[in-house]
Structure 1
Amino acid sequence: MDYHRRSVLGFGAAATLLALPGCSSLPGLSLTEAVKRLLTLSAQNAFAELMQPNGFFDSQVARISVPDSLGGSRVTSIATALLRSKPIQDRLLLQVNRAAEKGAELAAPIVADTIRNMSIADAAAIINGGPRAATSLLQRQLGDTLVDRMLPGIGNGLRLFDNEIINLVLAQATNVDFSSISRDVTAKASTAIYRSIGAQEEAIRANPQATNDPLLMAVLGVGKAF
């Protein structure tokens, strides 16, 4: 993902806002800034992967599953056999993950804004916490916001089934609630985004030197505690 694309999503501005010059001593607010920098880089890296073509589908961390209702007991017997067939399930799996990409486009600027404006009561506890402590804080502060904001984009993505056979099979199904399906996929996409950000945070904590960021290297360095 290039700088212009990050700027459109809000992360270019976030990185600029959080940028601090390298220094040998840490000012009073540096731990708060370090948490925000850690989250900004983690989210940048996560969204850069997820918003690539098939970003969710190709990810071992973020791939989401097909809703039970698309192949479960709530469809007609004829449609059930077709929906449960491997070719159809493979196409549905790809489609729900493509729909998640549409949701991620809406989620990225919300995450960036939340990081910029978030309140951190005990930054030292986050820095010294578990490998995904900052991501957990982000998830608590966002609550259900991601699900609510991503739902329209994912709903639109799910309506763009690009395979005539899938459209034909779904037309034969009864009691398939597309509103419920959209909500299911959106909730899974939200969880996948947090997993991806958390995985990036864990990687940064394990090797802060790879960021070339003086603040993160100082705060997250081996043996550093506050």
Structure 2
Amino acid sequence: MATHSQVLTRRRLMIGSGAMVGMGALGLAGCAGYGGFSLVEVVRRLLQLSANRAFDRLLAPGGFWDDQMARLVLPQQLGNRGGMLQQMLTGPLFKDRLARAFNDMAERAAYRAAPAVTEAIRGMGVRDALALIRGRPDEATNYLRGEMAGRLIDVMFPQFGDLLHATSDPLVGQALQLATGVDVNGIANDLARQADDAIWRSIGREEAEIRRNPRGTNDPLLERAFGGG
């Protein structure tokens, strides 16, 4: 059986190879052009590189937990419970350990999100590429998020559900047992929505950095489009 690191490596290769295939298939015909290059291709390269960098961080061990912008908090369904669960969660040590366990689950759920983002970038329509290029630091990320319309939540929700039902973490199991009347699917949905927000924040942050320092991409097309050439 493949180890966690082996699965992670394959996922990274899937993201990278998918990006290269998508870029190779992009032609200039029918695309808005400026200065001899395709604006649509610029947007897609910008988004793919931003996504690659974001997932490279998030899929690393501790990727969600170690990033304050990406870290998931305890689901609301657990935060307002009484009795033994509430007593357990009043201690910061147990609370942090439980939150850490959910963030570890987010890494595994995000494996499925990465290929979905790449697929969306390849197939998305771009109505005004120039506006995306000239927009805010995370303009293209927000556009792609709108195009996907919650798709990542749909992709990650089943994975969170499976992980919660089959967890081997004794702390998570104890919390779920004490959370009388709580729907596990509701917790999975909360975690999927948090992970969705975290992923898009991370991609947007990477997009902003690429715009700020296009030379750091070593991509002549991005350098030229964002003033580095």
TM-score normalised per structure 1:
0.87
Match of 2:132 among 126, 134, 153: 126
1:217 to 1:166, Cα distance in 2 relative to 1, 3 A: closer
1:166 to 1:87, Cα distance in 2 relative to 1, 3 A: farther
> Could you tell me how far 1:82 is from its partner in structure 2?
1.4
Matched residue SS, 1:54:
coil
> Could you tell me how far 1:144 is from its partner in structure 2?
1.4
Q: Deviations over 1:148-173 (max 9, x none)?
A: 11111122233354443443343233
Equivalent position of 1:152 in the other structure? 158
Query: Which amino acid letter does the alignment assign opposite residue 27 of structure 1?
Result: G
> Could you tell me how far 1:95 is from its partner in structure 2?
1.2
For the residues of structure 2 that align with 1:32 and 1:197, how far apart are their CA atoms?
A: 18
Query: Which amino acid letter does the alignment assign opposite residue 98 of structure 2?
Result: L
Q: Which has the bigger relative contact order, CA under 8 A and spacing at least 6?
A: 1
Unaligned 5+ segments in structure 1 are none
1:143 to 1:47, Cα distance in 2 relative to 1, 3 A: same
Unaligned 5+ segments in structure 2 are 27-33
For the residues of structure 2 that align with 1:101 and 1:163, how far apart are their CA atoms?
A: 15
Match of 1:59 among 58, 67, 91: 67
Query: Which amino acid letter does the alignment assign opposite residue 19 of structure 2?
Result: A
1:123 to 1:184, Cα distance in 2 relative to 1, 3 A: same
> Could you tell me how far 1:55 is from its partner in structure 2?
0.7
Identity of aligned residues (%): 39
For the residues of structure 1 that align with 2:88 and 2:9, how far apart are their CA atoms?
A: 44
Matched, 1:13 2:21: no
Q: Deviations over 1:6-33 (max 9, x none)?
A: 333x44122243158xxxx8336x1110
Q: Which runs of 4+ in 1 moved over 4 A?
A: 1-4
Aligned residues: 215
TM-score normalised per structure 2:
0.86
Matched, 1:101 2:121: no
For the residues of structure 2 that align with 1:219 and 1:3, how far apart are their CA atoms?
A: 31
Are the aligned partners of 2:98 and 2:171 in contact in 1 as well (CA < 8 Å)? no
For the residues of structure 2 that align with 1:35 and 1:195, how far apart are their CA atoms?
A: 18
